[in-house]
Amino acid sequence: MKNLVQVQKALGDRLGREVFVYSITLDPEHDTPAVLKEYAKKYGVKPGWTFLTGKAEDINKLRRKLGLFNSDPKVDADRKQHTGMIRIGNEAFNKWSVTSVLCSPDRIMQMIERMKPPTPSKK
């Protein structure tokens, strides 16, 4: 979480305008909207960063669609085996990458910058 708070600071006013962050719980039985709201408040989360919860089966479907799962069902079912992953993308240009939440904030920012649309060449 500490790394993502630093990324939030580095994004400044781009957060919620150019860049959106979604944190998805792996523990929906515990992480109710009220619990996640308090968690976000504790870390000073700004608009543009949303914490999501829901039905366990919906979260699992979403994780699979995003490619954030282990192909071994036994390993994937064990929450202790889960590592925090960040999926970074630009849907309009179909550019996607993934990295660990433990990466340095600078590295995460570099990956975000690479997702920007191409700049037209000046001739």
**For 2-60, how does the pLDDT look when each residue is reduced to its tens digit (9 = 90+)?**
999 999 999 999 999 999 999 999 999 999 999 999 999 999 999 999 999 999 999 99
**Residue 64 or 119, more confident:** 64
Q: What number is the average pLDDT over the span 92-108?
A: 93
Inside any domain, residue 123: no
Distance CA 101, CA 67 (A): 15
Q: What's the CATH number where 96 sits?
A: 3.40.30.10
How much of the chain, in percent, has pLDDT values that exceed 70?
A: 99
Query: How many domains, the chain?
Result: 1
Is the predicted pLDDT of residue 82 greater than 80, yes or no?
no
Inside any domain, residue 122: no
Inside any domain, residue 30: yes
| Domain that includes residue 25, residue range | 2-114
How much of the chain, in percent, has pLDDT values that exceed 90?
A: 74
Distance CA 60, CA 64 (A): 6
- Residue 49's Cβ-count burial label (10 Å; 0-12, 13-18, 19+) is buried
Is the predicted pLDDT of residue 123 greater than 90, yes or no?
no
